[in-house]
Chains A and B, each alone.
Chain A
Amino acid sequence: AQKVTQAQTEISVVEKEDVTLDCVYETRDTTYYLFWYKQPPSGELVFLIRRNSFDEQNEISGRYSWNFQKSTSSFNFTITASQVVDSAVYFCALSEAYGFGNEKLTFGTGTRLTIIP
């Protein structure tokens, strides 16, 4: 069975500081996908990134960067120079294929990030 662990329940940092959100996953599949979603107070989940298990290259998108390490089953997310608008709950998720080519997402419990002005 697949499992996603986000050990950090809540994090608070002062604006402009860098912050890293941890994600550790478990899966038996060799082919899988990892995701990060942002959930602002309005409730919808906003897609940030999707990474497949064969691509371990780190990715940078503006102030966001992701570090994927299969050796430690981790997919960590770093926000550089944090801003108040980054305050939200962030979810890491894992997807395995199961029948009919479908993917089934398993979410972690989320990390609530608060950026203090």
Chain B
Amino acid sequence: EAEVAQSPRYKITEKSQAVAFWCDPISGHATLYWYRQILGQGPELLVQFQDESVVDDSQLPKDRFSAERLKGVDSTLKIQPAELGDSAMYLCASRIRASAGELFFGEGSRLTVL
């Protein structure tokens, strides 16, 4: 069964270090999302891509976070420098297009910043 792949599953880093997460959506899915889920809360949208273009990054802390999807397939989310408050689960999701189809989530990348 097709799935959204994410890596790494777990990442421990010290504050002020750089960290990157990778997501490979389901083949053929044009729309890709990065969500952040703080422990005990629901996921919050960070950025949405349609193919290689950013559709919505209004909730992305752009001073330290960046996201790209250069070829419109896989995507990378980077944090530099990491802060203690960035400790969370980072979830990637994809769907066939922005307003249709089920949203499929990956297993997430859990970040701990020390």
Contact = CB atoms under 8 A, between A and B. Distances in A.
A6 to B, nearest CB: 8
B98 A110 contact: no
4 shortest A-B CB distances, which residue pairs? A107-B42, A45-B105, A102-B98, A101-B99
Interface residues of A, number: 23
A52 B42 CA distance: 21
Contacts of A107: 42-44
B104 A47 contact: yes
Interface in A84-99: 91, 93, 97-98
A91 B12 CA distance: 27
Contacts of B102: 47, 50
Contact of B103 (A47, A97, A101): A47
A42 B45 CA distance: 20
Nearest to A110: B42
Interface of B: 31, 40-45, 48, 50, 55-56, 89, 91, 93, 98-99, 102-108, 110
A101 B55 CA distance: 11
By secondary structure, the B interface counts as strand
A55 B89 CA distance: 33
Given A43-B110, A45-B91, A105 B103 contact: yes
A104 B56 contact: yes
A103 interface: yes
A109 B99 contact: no
B45 A109 contact: no
Contacts of A91: 42-43
A45 B55 CA distance: 22
A102 B110 CA distance: 27
20 contacts: A43-B89, A43-B110, A44-B105, A44-B107, A47-B102, A47-B103, A47-B104, A50-B102, A91-B43, A97-B99, A98-B56, A101-B98, A102-B31, A102-B48, A102-B56, A103-B99, A104-B56, A109-B40, A110-B40, A110-B41
A100 B50 contact: yes
Contacts of B42: 4, 91, 93, 107-110
Contacts of B43: 45, 91, 105, 107
